Structure formats: C-alpha cells, structure tokens
Amino acid sequence: MDPFSISAGCLGLVATITKVSTSITAFVKDLRQTRRDLDNVSRELTSLKTILELLLEDDKTPTVILPESMATHVSGILSNCDIVVLDTEKCLAKYKQDSLSRRISWVASGRDDIAKLLRELESYKSALELGLDMLQL
C-alpha cells in the first residue's frame, strides 16, 4: 500500500471531520436537546482527528516504516471511518427539518442512529490507535 494513499486518506478524512464537526455544532445550536447525544460524537471525532494527524506526522518521518500488511489494514480502516463520518452527516441532515416532529423523531430514533454510528467510530478509532501504538514500538 502506497504511503501516499494513506496520507491522502488521512487528509481527506481530516477535512471531512472538520466539516461534520461544524455541522454538529450548528445542529446542536438549532436543536439543543441533542447536545448530550452529540457531545460524545464530537469528542470522538476530535480524538480521531488527532490520531490522523499523528499518522500524517509519522508518514513524514523516514525512520517510521509502515509494513505492507499494516498499511492495507490502515487504508481499509480509513475508508470505513470516512463512511461512518459521512453517515453521521447524513443522519444530521435527516433530522434537520424545521418542525416539532423533528424533536420527536430525534428522541424516537435519532439518538439510536447516532449511538450506532458512535460505536462504529469508536471501534475504528481504537483500531487506528492500536496501529499507531504498534508503530511506536
């Protein structure tokens, strides 16, 4: 796996995370009862962004060499992270309608939708953390 593609994946995902983080902030301002549900997502996205920035930094360090098999896994994890982050944005758009039904819909299913996405994001972030720790060894 070309390190360039990992760098490109990291950079793209950092940009997507920044965009979705802005969407989350706007969503919470508009529908305040979602704050508690989306705070965890925001923290997870910030943590993931930090890991991606560390991976980018390691990629620039000539002494850090990513084994081929690990590079393949990291690339797959980055792709999956991107899907989850984009699904988070789609979820927010789904509940963005201006009405009382939006609040009811959020309570009925929005929380569960976000919780599922958060669990996926946590697992991918943990896998990247593990990979990053292995690189340091």
**pLDDT at residue 10 greater than cutoff 70:** yes
The mean pLDDT value of the chain amounts to: 87
pLDDT: is 99 or 105 the higher one?
105
In this predicted structure, the answer to whether residue 41 has a pLDDT above a threshold of 60 is: yes
Tell me the CB-side half-sphere exposure of residue 67, using CA atoms within 13 A.
9
Give the CATH number, domain containing residue 75: 1.20.5
| Tens of pLDDT, residues 54-104 | 888 877 776 667 778 888 888 899 999 999 999 999 999 888 876 677 778
Provide the domain count of the chain: 1
Contact in structure between 19 and 88 (CB atoms under 8 Å): no
Can you give the residue range of the structural domain that contains 53? Answer: 3-136
Token pair of 59 as six digits: 């990629």
Residue 105 has pLDDT above 60, yes or no: yes
Burial classification of residue 27, based on how many CB atoms lie within 10 Å of its CB (0-12 exposed, 13-18 middle, 19 or more buried):
buried
136 has pLDDT over 90? no
Helix 35-60 vs helix 68-94: crossing angle, to nearest 10: 150
- How much is the pLDDT for 137? 65
CB 37 within 8 A of CB 89: no
Residue pair 91/117 in contact (Cβ under 8 Å)? The answer is yes
